[in-house]
Amino acid sequence: MILVMLVLSLLSEYTQMLFDPRDIHILYRMPVNALTLSVAKLITLGYYIFFLTLCAAIIPLFIVGIRQGSISGLLFLLSALSNSLFALLITNLVYRGCLHFLSKEKFQNILSYIQIGMVVLVVCSYQILLHTADFSIGLFSSFSLGAILLPPAWFTSISLLAISDHPCIWYYSGIGIIIPLLSAYVSFKWFTPYSSTPLNPLESQPSTKQEKAKKEKIAQFLTSLFARHPLQKSGFMLSWRLTSGNRKFKEAIVPAITYMLAIIIIQLISFFQEGKDTPFLYMPLYFSLMVAYMITDNMKYNEQGNQLWIYQARPLIYPGQFILGAFKAVYIKYFIPLYCGIGLLLLCLGGIRLLDDIVFIFTLITLITLGTTLGIFPFFPFAQERNSFGKGKILLYSFLATLLSFAFIFLHWGLQNLPYGIPVAILLLWGCLLQLSRRMKRISWEKLEKNF
């Protein structure tokens, strides 16, 4: 699971660092070459990734050390560090390799597909180990071509060296140590050319006038449905337009959407392969909480510095109305289509009996997302400069969202055992959501300026 979260973070963070043009202006006249710049970027990212790895592995490290001994604990730590090194280098290798063989324009066009492919590959490799019991049992008892293609098997074998002397364990462990080193050699040897005109991820994607007009009509129609106040309509349209051509925003959210979508679909398939009428068929929907948060949280960031002055120059008497309209635009544009698609799949597989569960989970996720992103720390869309704290807290929130998801699943199960528990809970949640929206409409300028 560590590898999944590291790749998910790296696909966002490495893209921003790899294509950041600011270092060119600083280092243009310095006596540095491509190798120095590449190593400097990897060391910076490596420090960040190793820190996240240690934070994610510290509790499992103590558990393994207490239950299986100190040697197993040290091997587990080695496995986690090899895991992070592999994630860093394979991401660097894929991006640099694509830039080496493709033009910048083609690379810009297929960047999202590269991210989707990497996330699906890593997620599916872990799900094969988790949900294919017979395969997992026989994986470490005999040599398997499938294990050679599964990175989780390599790093799991490293942590098993102290409790097993089977040749397969040593074989897979060797792969887990050699592959990261080989990736480093290939990356530095052949894929270190550094472009003096790096890509600009914020560059708008080309589109025809007909496409723009069609998108504008859709946005205006949705604005008339979901925004009543003039300031809400302005915030809705501004966020809709800014997210349409913002590659940086899409690069930050596409890996998360792909990851959660793959997890949900694989979980649903595993439920039906077991042939059981499980009461927790709705459970995968709770994992979309992280997607809702990442979509909304990334709405605040830009790469051009603090842009609050743009909104201060406008006579916004009710800034909360504007912010609420911006939230609706991003939520409707990116999260609701994803959730509705998964919900329809659930209805087709589980029947109409799941409808109230789907509505309950959607209302709960909307309330939590609105409260944690705008209710506590309100912000204007694309007005705040991204910093290291803002980047690192996404991984922390993913852990908290996972814990909250299991807590809400337990609450959901309890409400199902009460007469009319789910319908009554839906009404209460909608009441809380309306009350939170009213409070947001009354947000003052003083509270907004404190967040900047």
On whether both 365 and 432 belong to a single domain, the answer is: yes
Round the average pLDDT of the chain to a whole number and report it: 74
**pTM greater than the 0.85 cutoff:** no
Whether 204 is in a domain gets the answer no
On whether both 357 and 326 belong to a single domain, the answer is: yes
Which pLDDT score, from 0 to 100, does residue 203 have?
Answer: 43
Q: Write down which residue in 158, 190, 222 finishes a domain.
A: 190
Which helix (H) or strand (E) is 126 found in, with range?
Answer: helix 104-131
Q: Is the pLDDT of residue 299 over 70?
A: yes
On whether both 139 and 248 belong to a single domain, the answer is: no
Q: Is the pLDDT of residue 277 over 60?
A: no
Whether 243 is in a domain gets the answer yes
DSSP calls for 44-89: HHHHHHHHHHHHHHHHHHHHHHHHH-HHHHHHHHHHHHHHHHHHHH
Q: Which residue has the higher pLDDT, 214 or 71?
A: 71
Among the ranges 42-46, 134-138, 233-237, which has the highest mean pLDDT value?
A: 233-237
On whether both 176 and 36 belong to a single domain, the answer is: yes
On whether both 169 and 230 belong to a single domain, the answer is: no
How far lies 64's CA from each of 71, 77, 126, 158, 176, in Å? 9, 10, 20, 13, 19
Q: How many Å is the maximal CA-CA distance in the chain?
A: 74
Which pLDDT score, from 0 to 100, does residue 93 have?
Answer: 74
- Report the percent of the chain where pLDDT is more than 90: 8
Q: Is the pLDDT of residue 43 over 60?
A: yes
Coil, strand or helix: which one is 385? strand
Q: Which residue has the higher pLDDT, 360 or 270?
A: 360
Q: Which residue has the higher pLDDT, 254 or 432?
A: 432
Q: Write down which residue in 157, 190, 223 finishes a domain.
A: 190
Rounded to an integer, the average pLDDT of 139-156 is: 68
Q: Helical H runs in 191-298?
A: 209-226, 230-244, 247-273, 289-297
Tally the domains of the chain.
2
Whether 51 is in a domain gets the answer yes
Cβ atoms of 7 and 126 within 8 Å: the answer is: no
345-380: per-residue pLDDT in tens? 888 877 888 899 999 999 999 998 888 777 677 788
Rounded to an integer, the average pLDDT of 376-388 is: 73
Which pLDDT score, from 0 to 100, does residue 332 have?
Answer: 93
Query: What helix, strand, coil percent values describe the chain, rounded to 5?
Result: 80, 0, 20
Whether 196 is in a domain gets the answer no
Which pLDDT score, from 0 to 100, does residue 434 have?
Answer: 92
Whether 198 is in a domain gets the answer no
Q: Is the pLDDT of residue 67 over 90?
A: no
- Dihedral (CA of 215, 220, 226, 229) sign: positive
Q: Which residue has the higher pLDDT, 363 or 206?
A: 363
On whether both 254 and 167 belong to a single domain, the answer is: no
Q: Which residue has the higher pLDDT, 338 or 180?
A: 338
Among the ranges 98-102, 278-282, 442-446, which has the highest mean pLDDT value?
A: 442-446
Cα–Cα distance between 172 and 263 in angstroms, integer?
A: 26
On whether both 153 and 243 belong to a single domain, the answer is: no
On whether both 215 and 338 belong to a single domain, the answer is: yes
Which helix (H) or strand (E) is 384 found in, with range?
Answer: strand 384-385
b/e sequence 379-410, b meaning 16+ C-beta within 10 Å = bbbbbbeeeeeebbebeebbeebbebbeebbe
On whether both 256 and 344 belong to a single domain, the answer is: yes
Which pLDDT score, from 0 to 100, does residue 197 have?
Answer: 43
Rounded to an integer, the average pLDDT of 229-254 is: 83
Whether 195 is in a domain gets the answer no
Whether 437 is in a domain gets the answer yes
Q: Is the pLDDT of residue 64 over 70?
A: yes
Q: Is the pLDDT of residue 337 over 70?
A: yes
On whether both 276 and 391 belong to a single domain, the answer is: yes
Q: Residue 431: which pLDDT band, with cuts at 50, 70 and 90?
A: very high
Contacts of 223 (CB under 8 A, 6+ apart): 233, 236, 237
Q: Write down which residue in 159, 190, 221 finishes a domain.
A: 190
On whether both 230 and 271 belong to a single domain, the answer is: yes
Whether 15 is in a domain gets the answer yes
**Residues of the domain holding 305:** 210-450
On whether both 266 and 340 belong to a single domain, the answer is: yes
Q: Is the pLDDT of residue 91 over 80?
A: no
Which pLDDT score, from 0 to 100, does residue 118 have?
Answer: 64
